[in-house]
Structure 1
């Protein structure tokens, strides 16, 4: 009954949002169904549509759901109708001609603007607008000259070459473009002010021959006096210490004036994360006054809140169901010196083994406590002004989210390869084994120390860290096997990222990018640089250590397709090169040596932390968390043969393609396709056997929040495209590496709810 009332309410709301009928003779107030352009050959129609006020109504998925029963309610609830106004259209036609002129088409004219009612039932209150344009021949650049008013050989030796290079960026023969012309003017001015000429000016003049469709460009440059920095003033410090800020600015009185140095100083202050606003003002002499060669600079600062307490909570419903609290404290001027210290605790409860697909059909067997404790201390200006020293520590107690934590009461025999993933064989229970299933957890201790530094206006970031990780298994229920050992993983880590992601306004934005790219590399070397004293004596007998090289590069690209449409692409790979453990030593070559068996269990346990995994909300969205890739048993933890869990692989590849459509200010949608695999071999393609690409496709909804878009994605595993040539994935022999879950046990679908875009 409740569902019926909700549906009726939604239908009534949807009905109230239907556009009114077109009754006025001039069609004013009618909903605009479509705006199109004819005659556009060089300038695209969507480029013109971004610059006029007459816009078409915005429908979810472009109106594809409008004629679909039931789903049409969804379309009606999210549609944003645009109303036709003939006076607005008249001004838009003038805007189009002015825009064409700015792009070099001085002969461009808008020949006609046709407004017609649309046909079809239910669309009587809508109109289509068609604008017919005649572009004409473009004006091209015939020459670009520089004229100097006060140039001398001594004063101009540092600027002549860079100024000529900047001028040459405006090429002869290309179409005249006002934006490009102004860009070169700003570039020339920046060349001068970066090299000490604070009062420099650049004037531009364009002579257009409409008969020949040619333009002659001239930039006139005045250098002014050579300048140095004067007094550096800091205003609005409040309780913040002045010394570290001056060190980060890196400008001293008497240095040659440079706008580049000022921009770097402004970015260095912003990187502290303690200011709500930073303004830099060189105190130049007013027009008409003598130009002083010594230029004082004032940094006006607005400190943000230096201390904050965070309290909150949350929940997760997906491959597991959990609820948690969050409490944290941060001080951005800890003990003075702009040190930044933060600590956060996250206690939670996991309702085991319930997940999204069994939320209403399977009651939890047990409630498992979890806790995450993290702290970080950041010391700015370590060694030099823009290098930050970082010290981190963490303690986690958790059930590892890689398949179920339970191991069944059944032990493998040594015949057929113990714990070898995907191998069949007779199994015999070990004597003295506990009858209860084990629920396995880990106590994890992590410490990190290192250095971080930004480059290239903070777009390029480099970090070098030394990490020590200790993982100790324990039993939530049951008892561990005698073979279970703790893991000791010391590793050197280098993180490099170059971020050129920008939003629609052209500003840096890693949350909702519209264009640009992001490149990153995570390189780790484990076990080679370690403190041997930590593994000395009897402690060595209780620890398993890893020695390997782990590389994970990533590329993300964003292409603006239209005003509200972004095409996003991601490619991620990973390679693991272990040297003191081999998780598949007896699997492919048939190696049944005792040494292989002795090390196999430990290697499988190490792979839980060093191997690659795939599947989940930020990976392949047609699968649950870590469902893609090799599965097997990890008997060293339990002495039993339990349920198969993801054991990780040596090589990972993932790729995603996503079309993001923005619907109004708060809502959006996405259509995506994900693919990838995790292999045991160091090869992108498996040999032998059918190849696995795990292709998933789906749709998602987005809702903008202050911390990023709230994202709901539904991914569907495309039939016959999981294992190439195999359409029945229930065939265990062909699909034994993966055991993907089904939504409510029926549909090959995964549902993901998260904050932030997938990439």
Structure 2
């Protein structure tokens, strides 16, 4: 079954468009052939681009007769040919037996006879040149690249009030040639005068001014203003930003950012269900501007049959540095699983700093008071039954994140490493270090039907410093469940003790957790419409008494699910089956309903 599932996943993910078109429901448009003598590359390019136009054209949906479709597509082919420099091309179409045939005679490809740039001489001196030259074919995309390069150069090197670049191509049919000229419209060079914020009522204006990073005396650049608007929107405090630029005076212009504040308070409610943890509810409240400078207060509670949490969190941005933030939290948690029950109170403070666009370092302190009751006989030393802990930890972390969306990533990757040294203040001889590493990767073939996404997750963990049963039960590693190995019960994978009943019969205890962890997940995600999608997945994992994580002796699960895609995050509904089912331990299947992708 494992081989069959992996084969199906790879086949669906790798299915190209031209094979998918053979499926009866795939496409209702008539097939076409395109013949062009003497230039197989141009023939292939036209065929590919016509197929792309078929996929994305809403106009074709209104045509029913093949002759009308052929007439419309002939016009598209003529435009495509002109875009490649073929201004004398002819296209003939014919229809027979619901099949369209296009015969193309491209004629000569026009080349650039002369090329000029109208630009102030002081700016022209530093311009490195165009991506298109005299003698090159007159290809529309290359002409546009030239316009974009001039615009980019002026935005980066000039202080022009307005950057307006246009071009004119004059075609000379008798010579199969063209004259190409780029023109930069005249505009004064100016610098920034005053910078103002208007429309802020509960946000301190100087906080927003620090965000825009536009200062009096700066060279005036529209791209800098666009970046400032984006930074204001990313504060999550602003719903809309408009930029007003004054008339020039004495070589200066004043800039005013007119903002519209968002509602800074949000209440959310959620429900979910998993067959191993039962039904659950969540509620959260947040204030994103508690002290008028972007400080965020969050209060969240989650309840299900296994775990109950209540957490309050305060986040202070720009903590002693623009790219640094402080997050303080207090959390109450109760957990009751087959092998143990626990109650804990945790205080923590964490400072995180962005060291680049995608990289973040973090470090902090955590104090956890917990009471743990192990239910498995033999898991606690009879001479030392006390399972109250006062754990002081110093978490250190590194995260790399290049994904496009946090709750429904379609491209990019993440890597997250946490090293967390612990000391038990009740018993200073108890020290250990908990290390975890998680890697994810996402790749989407957006040009294929159903836009398949291949998603991969790897997770490993190791605890060093103490023997397995000397560790608090709620700090050991467990595998199994909706966020781990689907198909197996919550924390049902890991080391077990041998128990002997009154009749001398041996049996395995519930999972007691371990010092090593290994998990791997592979998903194929598909989008059938804008709001509905599906997924097939394959998970493996286990926890080990030995702290060295390894990808052997894994338990495997597989399944499928549907996704209802909302503007915020997908709602997932999965059913998973244990492929290494253990009699009297594992159920035949598990069901998961929650918000967001599994990873």
Does residue 1:451 correspond to 2:312, yes or no? no
Give the TM-score taking structure 2 as reference length.
Answer: 0.76
Query: 1:681–1:449: structure 2 CA closer, same or farther, 3 Å change rule?
Result: closer
Q: 2:562 aligns with which of 683, 695, 701?
A: 701
SS in 2 for 1:561: coil
- Asked if the contact 1:518/1:555 (under 8 Å) is kept, the reply is yes
Aligned to 2:432: 546
- Asked if the contact 1:621/1:750 (under 8 Å) is kept, the reply is yes
- Asked if the contact 2:338/2:510 (under 8 Å) is kept, the reply is no
The alpha carbon displacement at 1:222 in A equals: 5.9
The alpha carbon displacement at 1:227 in A equals: 2.3
- Asked if the contact 1:114/1:131 (under 8 Å) is kept, the reply is yes
C-alpha distance in structure 1 between counterparts of 2:334 and 2:488, whole Å: 26
Q: 1:491 aligns with which of 370, 394, 398?
A: 394
Q: 2:64 aligns with which of 84, 103, 125?
A: 84
The alpha carbon displacement at 1:109 in A equals: 6.3
Q: Deviations over 1:642-664 (max 9, x none)?
A: 7332725635352424141322x
Q: 1:378 aligns with which of 315, 322, 333?
A: 315
Aligned to 2:117: 147
- Asked if the contact 2:171/2:179 (under 8 Å) is kept, the reply is yes
Does residue 1:600 correspond to 2:570, yes or no? no
Q: Deviations over 1:377-396 (max 9, x none)?
A: 22233334454333233222
- Asked if the contact 2:67/2:95 (under 8 Å) is kept, the reply is no
- Asked if the contact 2:197/2:259 (under 8 Å) is kept, the reply is yes
**Unmatched segments (≥5 aa) in structure 1:** 1-30, 57-81, 117-127, 286-290, 351-367, 400-404, 408-438, 502-508, 582-598, 723-728, 733-738, 744-748
Please give the residue correspondences for 1:673-752 in structure 2 after superposition, counting only pairs within 5 Å: 673-674=538-539, 682=548, 685-686=551-552, 692=554, 694=556, 696=558, 698-716=559-577, 741-743=586-588, 749-752=589-592
- Asked if the contact 1:194/1:257 (under 8 Å) is kept, the reply is no
The alpha carbon displacement at 1:576 in A equals: 3.8
RMSD (Å) for aligned C-alpha atoms = 4.4
Q: Deviations over 1:163-198 (max 9, x none)?
A: 54xx34x69999865456435523431331233422
- Asked if the contact 2:456/2:520 (under 8 Å) is kept, the reply is yes
Does residue 1:394 correspond to 2:292, yes or no? no
- Asked if the contact 1:489/1:546 (under 8 Å) is kept, the reply is no
Query: 1:280–1:183: structure 2 CA closer, same or farther, 3 Å change rule?
Result: farther
- Asked if the contact 1:32/1:84 (under 8 Å) is kept, the reply is no
- In terms of fraction of residues, the more strand-rich structure is 2
- Asked if the contact 2:513/2:543 (under 8 Å) is kept, the reply is no
Q: 1:294 aligns with which of 225, 243, 252?
A: 252
The alpha carbon displacement at 1:200 in A equals: 3.5
Q: Deviations over 1:260-317 (max 9, x none)?
A: 43233222212221111123344466xxxxx97322222121111123344x352423
Aligned to 1:656: 522
Q: Deviations over 1:448-506 (max 9, x none)?
A: 321344854xxx352523141526234599998715353626133334333352xxxxx
Does residue 1:556 correspond to 2:442, yes or no? yes
Q: 1:272 aligns with which of 218, 221, 235?
A: 235
**Unmatched segments (≥5 aa) in structure 2:** 1-25, 35-42, 500-505
Aligned to 2:152: 190
Aligned to 2:14: none
Q: 2:288 aligns with which of 318, 332, 342?
A: 332
Q: 1:753 aligns with which of 588, 593, 599?
A: 593
Does residue 1:263 correspond to 2:226, yes or no? yes
The alpha carbon displacement at 1:212 in A equals: 9.2
Aligned to 1:406: 338
C-alpha distance in structure 2 between counterparts of 1:659 and 1:271, whole Å: 29
Please give the residue correspondences for 1:95-106 in structure 2 after superposition, counting only pairs within 5 Å: 96-97=76-77, 100-101=80-81, 104=84, 106=86
SS in 1 for 2:427: helix
Query: 1:86–1:222: structure 2 CA closer, same or farther, 3 Å change rule?
Result: same
Give the TM-score taking structure 1 as reference length.
Answer: 0.61
- Asked if the contact 2:366/2:394 (under 8 Å) is kept, the reply is yes
The alpha carbon displacement at 1:622 in A equals: 4.8
Query: 1:661–1:525: structure 2 CA closer, same or farther, 3 Å change rule?
Result: closer
The alpha carbon displacement at 1:693 in A equals: 7.8
Aligned to 1:41: 44
- Asked if the contact 1:332/1:338 (under 8 Å) is kept, the reply is yes
Please give the residue correspondences for 1:620-635 in structure 2 after superposition, counting only pairs within 5 Å: 620-626=485-491, 630-633=494-497
C-alpha distance in structure 2 between counterparts of 1:134 and 1:487, whole Å: 80
C-alpha distance in structure 1 between counterparts of 2:180 and 2:27, whole Å: 42
The alpha carbon displacement at 1:232 in A equals: 1.4
Please give the residue correspondences for 1:344-493 in structure 2 after superposition, counting only pairs within 5 Å: 344-346=300-302, 348-350=303-305, 370-399=307-336, 405-407=337-339, 440-453=341-354, 456=357, 460=358, 462-468=360-366, 470=368, 472-475=370-373, 482=385, 484-486=387-389, 488=391, 490-493=393-396
- Asked if the contact 2:295/2:316 (under 8 Å) is kept, the reply is yes
Aligned to 1:25: none
Query: 1:99–1:474: structure 2 CA closer, same or farther, 3 Å change rule?
Result: farther
C-alpha distance in structure 1 between counterparts of 2:107 and 2:495, whole Å: 64
Aligned to 1:53: 58
The count of aligned residue pairs is 551
Query: 1:95–1:674: structure 2 CA closer, same or farther, 3 Å change rule?
Result: farther
SS in 2 for 1:741: coil
Query: 1:100–1:470: structure 2 CA closer, same or farther, 3 Å change rule?
Result: same
Query: 1:658–1:349: structure 2 CA closer, same or farther, 3 Å change rule?
Result: closer
SS in 2 for 1:566: coil
